[in-house]
Structure 1
Amino acid sequence: MEGLHSVAGTLSRTRKVVLFGIITCVLFFAFVFYSLPAAFLPLYDQSHDVSSTWTGVLIGAGPLSYVFVCPLSALLLNTFSNKKLYIVPTASLGIVTMLFSLLDFVPSADIFVGFGFLLRIVQGICGGIISVTSFAALVAIYPDRVATVTALAETVLNGALAVGPFLGSVLYATGGFQLAFFVPGLLILLSVLPECFVPQLTTSSKATTWRSLKTLLDPGILFAAWHCSACQILLNYHIPILSPYVERVFGESVVWAGTALMINSGSICLSAPFLGFLIDRYNPYIFLVISSIFLPICYMFIGPLPLLSFIEPSKGQLLTTLMCLGFFVPMGCTPVLLVMFDIYKTKSGGDLPQSVQNVIVSLYCASFPIGSFLGATISGIVAEKYIFEWSTGILALVFIAESLACLVFCWGVHLMKKNRKLFKGEYSETTPIL
C-alpha cells in the first residue's frame, strides 16, 4: 500500500467515485452476518436449551476473531493486491454463512455451540480482512476527507447491521433457522461479482515492516481506540437481551425487536455522514468530549434505569432512546481515526508513513469488534442474574468513569501539543485541539 497514494492520484474523480461505491457495497454485503442472528437467536437458543451466556458468546465470537486478524491484515496489504484481499475472504464468508444453516440439524446443544463458535470465528476472520482492506483504501484515496469517507463507510456498515436483525427475523419467522442463514450467505457470495471490477491498486515492493506495529503500543493511540470500543460496548450490549425484554414487558414478537434494532442502526446511518463532514471541518476532540458527556446519560434511559422512577417504560421511550444512541455513538467513534493520526503526527513531527497509517487503520477497525464482543458477551453473562433494566442501567453508570477518563485524555493531549509547539515549530501543521 506504500504506492497507493500515487496510484490513487492518477485516478479520475469518476473512477474514485466508482471505486468508493464498489468498496462500500462489499462492506455492506460482507457485514450483514454480524447482526444477522441478533433478534432471533436468543429465542431459538431458549427453545433448544442453550443458555443466554452461550448466546452472547455466539453473537460475539465473530467480532472476537476480527480483532486478532486486523493487525495481520495491515501486513497482508503490502504482500497481496487489494483485489485478492476482497474476493477470497468474501467468497469464504458467503460459504461459511450458508454452512451455518446446517446447524439446525445438530441434536446436541453442546455440539451446536461448538460448531457455531468455530463458524463465527471464521466469519470474523474474513470480515476483518475485508474491513481493513476497505478502510485503508478509502483513507488513502481520500486523504483530505478522512472523517467523511470513514463516516460514510461506517454508515454502510451500520446499514448492514440495521438490515441484519430485521432480515434475519423476517427470514426466521418465514422459513426458520436454515433460511435465515442460507439466503444472506448466498447474497454475500454473489457480492464477489462486483469485486471483479475493482481497479488493481498496486502495492510497492517494500513490505510493511514489523517496526510499524510498535504504533500499537502507543498509550495515546491505544486509549483513542479503546474509547471507540467503549462506545461500541454501549451499542451492542443490549442486542442479545432485547428480544426477551420486549416480549416480557411489551408482549411484542421477535420481528418488533428486529425492527427496533434496525431503527437504532438506521439512526447511525442518517447521522454519521453529517457528523463526518463536521469532524473534517472542525476539531475532532470536541466531538469526543460531547459524546463522552451524553452517551452515559442516554444509555440510562434504554431500560430505563429503575432508579429513574419518573420514567415509565414504553415502546416509544425505547425507540427514542435507541435513536438518540444512534446519534451519540458515531459522534464518539468517527473522530477516533483522525485523533490517532493526529497523535502520531504530533509525536513524529508531522510525519505519517503509509505503513504506519495502515497499522493505525487496522487498530481502528479492530476497536469496533472489541466493543461488539465485550458488549454481547458481558450482557449474556449479566442477564443470568439481572433483568434488562438493571443490567443496562448499571452499565451506563460504569461508563461515566470512562467518560471522565476521555475528558482527561483530551486535556492531556492538548497540553502535550501545546508544549511541543513551544519548542518545535514543525508541529504547527497538526490539528489544534482547542
Structure 2
Amino acid sequence: MRWLCLCCPPEAPASDRDALAWLALGFTPRVARLEDAVVAEVSASLRLFGGARALRQRLQAQAALTGLALGALAWAPTALASLALARCPPASAQGRLSERLDALPLRALSAAHAHHAMLARLGCQRLGELRRLPRPALARRFGPALLTALDQAYGDLPEVHTWLVLPERFDARLELPYRVEHAPVLLHFAETLLRQLCTFLAARHAGVRTLRLGWQHDAMRARDVAGSGELTLATADTTRDMRRLTRLLAEHLSRTTLAAPAGEISLSADTVLPLQDSSASLLPGPSDPLERTTTHALLERLSVRLGAGRVCEGRLHEDHRLDHMQSWQPWPAPPAIARRRPCGPQPTWLVQPPQPLRADTREQPTCCGPLTLISGPHRVEAGWWEGQGGMQARDYFVYRSAARGLLWVYHERPSSTAPASTGWFLHGVFA
C-alpha cells in the first residue's frame, strides 16, 4: 500500500482541512482524516496519474488553482507512518521504513508524545528506543494503545479508517470572529468558503453557474430589519475558477449595503454541473490559466458595475428582413437556439436608417459615382404579419463602388401597405 499524508499550514483555518480532504478525493476514493491531517491511499491511482511524483505535482497544482495552501507532505506504506514522517521529516528519505521511523522523535507519534515526560525519564527520546523496551512492561505502564499505535505505524497491525464521502450538495457556514458592518469586508471571510467550494467541485470534476452568499444579522438589530440577507452570483458558463469567483463576488459586495451588522455567513451551490477540463496549450513556453482573462469573466464584472441591462448580447432570428435578423438582449442571454443561415449574401455593416440614393438617367442607383452590378435581385417580401409598419417588399442588389467598395442596395417596390414608397436605398456595406 502507498499512503500520502497531507497537512495544512499551522496558521490555516480549521475549515481548510475539509477542503484538503475534498481535494484528495479527486485523486482517490480512499481518503480519511487522521488526527490533524488527511491521509489518502493512492496505490491504485499511481498508474493513472503517471507515478508518485506526477501525482504529487498535479495535486499541488490543483491546490494552487483553488487557493488552498499545502503544508507538509509525506509518503509511507502505512497511514500512521506517513503522518509521523510529515510531522518530523527525516534527513534522508532512503532506507527501510523501520529505519526511518526509529530515527524520529517521540512527538512524531501522538500516542508516544502523550507520555513524553515519563518516557524521557526512562531515557527514551526516539521511536527506536521506545520499541526496544519490554512490551509487557510498556503495556502495563502506558496501556495497550501505545503498542497498538507503534505496531500500526510499523506495519505489524492493520489500520482501520472511515472513508470520507462527498456530500450531494455544497452548503457551508462560517461564524465571523467579529460583527461586520460593511459588505466588502465579508469578502475576506467568504474566500474561506470559496476555497472549500472549489475543492468540492474539483473532487466532483464539476463546476457551478449560480451561487448564493447569505449572512445572518446581529441579534441586536433594529426591529424593522430582517434577520438575514443574501445575494446571488451568476456566471456566464460553468466554472470552478477560484480567482474568477472571488473577483465577481468582490464586485457584488462593493455595491451591497448591510442593513445591520452580520455575525455569520453561508455559501451554497444547489446545482452542480459537469465540467470538462481544458486541454493544455500546444505552444511552447509556460502557460498560466490564472492570468488568462476570459471574455465571460470580463463581461460578468462589467454587468455588475454598469447595472442590469447595460451589457447586451446579440441574438440571431430567422427573418428575411435584414434589420430584424438580430436583436439585443441583456447579458447573459438564454442559450441560443440553432438558426438556419440566410440563403443570400449578407452585409457586414448595417446602415440604419437606410440612406436614400440618387438614380441616373437609366434609373440605376449612384453612390459617389456610378455603380457596377455584381449580383441580384434578391427579393424580400416579409413582415405582413406585423401590419403596415413591418411589411417589406424589396429587391436587394450587390453593387460595387469605386469609392466605397461593395454595397448592399435595395429598390423599394410598391405594396398594398405602402403604394407610394419607392426608390433606391443603401442598406449595408460589405467589409
Bin for the TM-score computed over the shorter chain: under 0.3
| TM-score, normalization by structure 1 | 0.20
Greater strand percent: which structure? Answer: 2
Greater helix percent: which structure? Answer: 1
Name the larger-Rg structure. 2
Larger RCO: Structure 1 or Structure 2 (Cα < 8 Å, ≥ 6 residues apart)? Answer: 1
| TM-score, normalization by structure 2 | 0.20
